[in-house]
Structure 1
Amino acid sequence: MTKQERMEKLRERFAEMKVKEKELRCAGYEKIAGVDEVGRGPLAGPVVAAAVVLPEDFDVLGIDDSKKLSEKKREKLFPVIKEKAIAFGIGMVDNKVIDDINILQATKKAMTMAVDELNRMLEANGSRQTDYILFDAMKIDDIKIPQESVIKGDAKVLAIAAASIIAKVTRDRIMAEYAAEYPGYSFEKNKGYGTKQHYEGIKKQGICPIHRKTFLKKVL
């Protein structure tokens, strides 16, 4: 595939991912937020959510579901999204709260925190608050804003994909810091997921303060 063909493919993909937001703008909505989370499955660390409102003229190619992108690509897009977004918010819920209220409720809590921070940023910038939210496969009744759950939304909707990148890079950086604080579990590589090296670390030295005990009932 030539460079020109790759660019054309990226532009086609970009146009497809903007369709949902374009439809909502035509329906009268202005501040459309995409919300996604990362970290529901790991044995350790927090669940992190991000909410992002992109401008109508946002033109950064290459944004996609964070799981489809390399770490290098995510790191490159991360500051660009934050710079060009109208506003963004990040919510984080730690392992202790996850153990207390379960991962689903913790995920919803992190998403709510992200939306709240997003709206504070919009307000600080003198802008109206979010008037529509696109969640990736989730709905949160406690948030009294028109919303929609989009299955595989991080691969279909530009704002959700952007949020997935913000959440993923944020959490990966947190886990890299924890790797230095709690060595022996390979957190810098597995980001808290249940890899062979991670389980070996638990077997050798037990759990550490950021492990989710409710996820480790079979090994504790």
Structure 2
Amino acid sequence: MWIFSSLFLYSLLAMSVTPAKYELLLSTGERNTIYFTVKNDKLEMMKVRVNSKYWFVLPENKGIEIDSWLSFSPKEFYLKKGEGKRVICEVIVPKNASGFLNGMLSFNQIDSPTSVNITISVPVYIIIKDNYSFDFEVRGLKRENEYLLVEIFNKGNVYFRPRGRIKMNRERNFLIFKKKSFLFEKRFKEERHIFPGSSGYVKLGNLGLKDGKYEVILELEFWGDKKIRKKIVVLK
């Protein structure tokens, strides 16, 4: 959840929105109804205005207006202290949409008696079941402070948060033979998105690796049932 503005702690606590996000797997032409609850946690009276905008847009979806697939009601309302209001959102996946759609609903507190307003923005992700492409490339190792990072490039048309399993081996060449030594294997889960056409990282911590040749085997999971395994040999 993103909370913008306000230097004062009390204003940050004045309004809350739940849930913090929606992620839906839908087919083109499919409809779904979702709900957000807005609550006035502190002020005697609060006026709230709701609006929508895109966050990330795939090039192939640039002609699709956000109002054509994400509508909501009410768009403006008052809340007494302690009162909550449910905002109803209707999602209709356009038949010409590809990959995923990513909108943002912003709940804006306006006309605050303290002259300090806040905005809480929550994302709505629609993964399009018909035509999404989940694919990635392991690009190598990188060091950042005490962390060793594995760089992942998103080759598909849908966002993902890296989660799955990683395995590393060390490869050494001797005069007449090669030897591969197992280093570790573990599960991981990163919270940051990797959007199509961009890179992200899996943090491995400080492993104290010596210079040499390493094999990285990465298996990523997507929506629980889809797994892709890739490997790369890198020099450190």
What TM-score, normalized by structure 1, do the two folds share?
A: 0.26
Structure with higher strand content: 2
Give the number of the structure whose alpha-carbon radius of gyration is greater.
Answer: 2
Higher RCO (CA < 8 A, seq sep 6+): 1
